[in-house]
Amino acid sequence: MRFQSVTFISSFTPSLHSIQSLSRASLDRRSKRPQNAFRPNRRVTTSSLAQDPNSEQKDNRKPGLPEETDAERKRREIGRLFSLFSRLALPYWKAEKQARRDLTSVVALTFLQSGISVLFSFVSRDFWTALNTKNAELFYHQAEVFCAVLLAFTPVIVYYHYFRDKCALRWRDWITNRVLKQYCSNRNFYTLEAVDNPDQRIAQDLNSFTTESLALFLTLLVSAIDLVSFSTILFSIYPYLFAVLLVYASTGTYLTAVLGKRLIGLNYNQIVREADLRYGLIRMRENAESIAFFNGEKRENAEITRRLKAAIENMSDVIDLRRQVGFLQTGYKYAVRILPAFLVAPRYFAGAIELGSVTQSMSAFSHILDDLSLVVNRFDSLSQFGAGIDRLAQFVQALEDNIEEEQRTFGTNSEKNLTRGRGHRGGIVLNEIPGRNRFLSVQNLTLYTPGDDMPRKLIDNLSFTLTPGERLLVCGPSGNGKSSLLRALAGLWTNGSGIITCPDHSELFFLPQKPYCTLGSLRDNLVYPKDVKTANFTDAALLRALDLVELSELPSRMGGLDAVADWGDVLSLGEQQRLQFARLFLSGTGVAIIDEGTSALSVQIEKAMYELVLGLGATIVSVGHRPTLLGYHERILRLWEGSWELADITQAERDDVVMQTLYS
Ligand SMILES: Nc1ncnc2c1ncn2[C@@H]1O[C@H](COP(=O)(O)OP(=O)(O)OP(=O)(O)O)[C@@H](O)[C@H]1O
C-alpha cells in the first residue's frame, strides 16, 4: 500500500481527481512454522491489548459496573490500536538520531511539495482566466510560468520519494533486527506456540508496517497542510462552498465506516488463510520425496485445495464488501467533478468571479475533499493496516512477555528455575555450572509431558550422577520418555520437579534424533552452531574432522568446503548423522548427548563414531535401541511406563547381550 501524495496535476487540471487504485499490500504473507515434535505445548499469554480482531472484544470492567456502550467500545478499540501503534513505532524514532534526521528531510520536502501545489493553483487560475478573456500574451506567459514551476517541482517530488523510501527501509532494518533478536533469544522461537506464522510476521508484516506507517504519517501531514492552505483559498472565493464541503466529507466518511466496518476482520482472516495456503505448498516441497514414495499427491492436493478454498471464500467476502463500499466511494469521488462548479456557477454567470477562480475553487475543493476523505479513499488499505498492527503487536507482546518472565524467574541466581510459572507441580531446576567440566547429575527428577491439559508422567523420581567421562545408555520401549529425558537435560522441557546439574550450554553437545543441517556452506554446517568467523577453524582441521567421520570425499564431491547446498536434501541420513559427529568432534565438548545418533549407520561406522567420542574423554548420555551400543557405555538406564531402573553394564553384557532382552 502506498499513500500517494497529492499531485500538482490535480491543482492544474481542476476537474480531475483521479481515483487512485491503491496497490494493496500482498496478502500472501505467512508461512507456518513446521511443527516440532520436541516443542512443549507451552501457552504464551499475550497482552489483552493484542487480540485477534475477530474475537469478541471483552469488556474487562469489574462486575457491577454498567455495561460498555457501543460508542465506548469503539473508542476503546481506537485507543487500543493507537497504543499498539505507538508501542511498535516510537522506539525507533526515539533511539536513532539518523532516523530523526531522515524524517526531518522528508517533512521539509513535504512542506515544499505542498507549497508548490498552492503555487500551481494560482498559476492555473491565471492560465484559465487568460484563456477565458482571450488574452494571448498572458496565456503564453502563464504557460511559461507553469513550465518553470514544473522544473522546480520535479526534483522535489523525486527526492521526497527517495528520502521517504530510504527512511522506511532503515526503519524496517532496525525494527526487524530488534524483533529477530527477541525471537532468537530465550528460545522464543521454540516456545512461542500461541503465535502463528512468526516467519511471516518478521519478514513481511514488519516491512508493511514501516512502509505503511510512514506513508500514512506523510499523507496526514500533507492533508493537514493542504487543509489549511486550500481552505483559505476556498473560503476567500466562496465560504458557502466550504460549508458544503465539510458536510459532504463527513457524510461520506461516516457512511464508509458503517458500510465497511467488517473489512478489518475479513482482511485479518485473509492474511491467515493465504499463509496457511502457502505453508501447505512449502510442506509439500519440503517433504516431496516422502510424498512421492507414498504416492500421496492426491491427498496433498486435496488438503491444499481445501486451504485454497478457504482463502478464496474469504477473499470473495472481501470483494463483496468492497463492492458495497465501492458504490459509495465511486459516486462520492465522481460527484465532486461537477459539484463545486455547479455551486459557484451562479456567481460566475453574475460576473462576480472570473473563470480562473471557478477552476481554482474546484481544485481547492478537490484538494480539501481528498484530505478530509482519508478514510473514504483509503478504507481498504487502512483496514489492512489495522489488521497488520494487531498481528504484529500480538507477536511483539508475546516475545516481550516471554523475556520479562525469564528475567523475573532467573534473577541473578546461578540456579535457573525454568518452571516459568508452570504451576502446581513446581518445576525442574536446571543448575548450570559454568566453566569446563564434565559432571552431570539428576536428582529426584519427575518429568511430565508439557502443557497443563492432561500431562503424562514419563519419569518418576529419577536420580543418577555421572562422573567426568562416564557413559550412560538410556533405553526402553518407544514413547516412554527417553528423548524427553534429554529434553529435560537441555532445559527444553520443564514440567515436573527435581534438580539437574550440568555444565553450561557451551559444554553440552546434543546430537538430536533428526539431524539438522543449517542453511549455508559445508563449512557453516561443520562448525554449527558456532559462526565460521568466530569458530576460526583452519581448512585442515575441518578436512580432518570430515576424514574422521569417513566423509573425506564430501568436499571434492560437492565443490569444496564453501559449497552451498540444501544439505538436508543432498546428504543421506547416514551422512548427516556422520556430519553431526564431525561437529561434535570439532566442538571438543565435555558432555555429549546422543539421541539415536547412529541409527542410520552401519555397525562398523557406529563403532568408529563412538570411538571418536570416547577419544574426547567426554561424558556421554546416549539413547538408542541397538544392542551394539552396550559396548560403548558403562551404565544403562531403562525407562518404561514411568518406572526406571539403573544398572552397571558388565563386561559380558558389553560383549554380547542383546539389548532387547534387557527391557522386554
Ligand atoms: N510436545 C509434546 N507434547 C506432549 N507430548 C509429547 C510431546 N512430544 C512428545 N510427546 C509424548 O511424550 C512421550 C515420550 O516421547 P519421547 O520422544 O521421549 O519417547 P521416546 O522414548 O524417545 O520414543 P522413541 O524411542 O520412539 O524415540 C510420547 O508419548 C510422546 O508422544
Averaged pLDDT, 165-181? 92
**Could you tell me the distance, in angstroms and rounded to a whole number, from the CA of residue 37 to the centre of ligand 1?**
8
Atom number of ligand 1 nearest to Cα 40: 1
Dihedral sign, Cα of residue 463, residue 469, residue 475, residue 479: positive
CA–CA gap between residue 613 and residue 581 (Å, rounded):
8
CA of 38 to the centre of ligand 1 (A): 8
Residue 39's pLDDT band, with cuts at 50, 70 and 90, is very low
What's the grid cell of residue 564?
A: 552451498
pLDDT band at 467 (very low <50, low <70, confident <90, very high): very high
Residue 354, SS3 per DSSP:
coil
- Mean pLDDT (whole number) for 383-412: 74
Q: What mean pLDDT is predicted for residues 511-516? A: 88
Q: What is the best residue among 449, 459, 629 to mutate for testing ligand 1's pocket, by most ligand atoms within 8 Å of CB?
A: 449
Burial class (CB in 10 A: 0-12, 13-18, 19+), 478: exposed
Does 479 contact ligand 1 (Cβ within 6 A)?
yes
pLDDT tens track for 256-301: 778 777 887 888 788 889 888 988 898 888 888 778 877 888 889 9
Q: Which of 482, 594, 637, 638 to mutate to test the pocket of ligand 1 (most atoms within 8 A of CB)?
A: 482
Distance of CA 314 to the CA centre of its chain: 22
Output the CA–CA distances (angstroms, integers) from residue 568 to 31, 281, 286, in the order listed: 20, 18, 10
Cα 474 to averaged position of ligand 1 atoms, centre (Å): 14
482 lines ligand 1 (CB under 6 A): yes
Spell out the residues 6+ positions from residue 368 whose beta carbon is closer than 8 angstroms to its own.
226, 227, 230, 231, 234, 245, 249
The cell numbers describing 65, all together, are: 459496573
What element of type H or E holds 497? strand 496-503
Name the residue with the closest Cα to ligand 1, atom 17.
483
| CATH class of the domain at 8-14+88-403 | mainly alpha
What percentage of the chain exceeds 90 in pLDDT?
26
Q: Cβ(450) to ligand 1 under 6 A?
A: yes
CA of 575 to the centre of ligand 1 (A): 25
Given this model, what pLDDT does residue 296 score? 84
Q: Please report the ipTM that was assigned to this predicted complex.
A: 0.97
How much is the average pLDDT of 579-606? 91
CA of 442 to the centre of ligand 1 (A): 20
What CA–CA distance (Å, rounded) separates 570 from 585?
Answer: 22
Tell how far the Cα of 130 is from the centroid of ligand 1, in angstroms. Answer: 86
Q: Which atom of ligand 1 is nearest to the CA of 487?
A: 18
Residue 465 scores a pLDDT above 60: yes
Confidence tier at 573 by pLDDT (50, 70, 90): very high
Ligand 1 atom 31: residue of nearest CA: 479
Query: What pLDDT, on the 0 to 100 scale, is given for residue 655?
Result: 66
Element (H, E) at 214: helix 206-237
Q: What is the mean pLDDT of the chain?
A: 79
Residues of the chain within CATH 1.20.1560.10 domain(s) are 8-14+88-403
* Residue nearest ligand 1's atom 26 by CA: 478
For residue 327, the tally of other CB atoms under 10 A from its CB is 11
Beta bridge pairs of residue 466 = 440
Quick check: helix, strand or coil at residue 310? helix
Report how far ligand 1's centroid is from the alpha carbon of 409 (Å): 27
In three state form, how does the secondary structure of 520-573 look? CEHHHHHHCCCCHHHHCCCHHHHHHHHHHCCCCCHHHHHCCCCCECCHHHHCCH
Alpha-carbon distance of 431 to 60, in angstroms, equals 40
Q: Which residues make up the CATH 3.40.50.300 domain(s) of the chain?
A: 428-517+571-663
223 lines ligand 1 (CB under 6 A): no
CA distance 233 to 361: 7
Pairing between β-strand 471-475 and β-strand 619-623 as defined by DSSP bridges:
parallel
Q: Tell me the backbone φ, ψ of residue 192, rounded to 5 degrees.
A: -80, 80
The rounded Å distance from CA 454 to ligand 1 centre is: 14
CATH for 428-517+571-663 (3.40.50.720, 3.40.50.300, 3.30.530.20, 1.10.260.40): 3.40.50.300
Residue-wise pLDDT tens digits, 79-129? 777 887 888 888 999 988 888 988 999 999 988 888 888 888 888 888 888
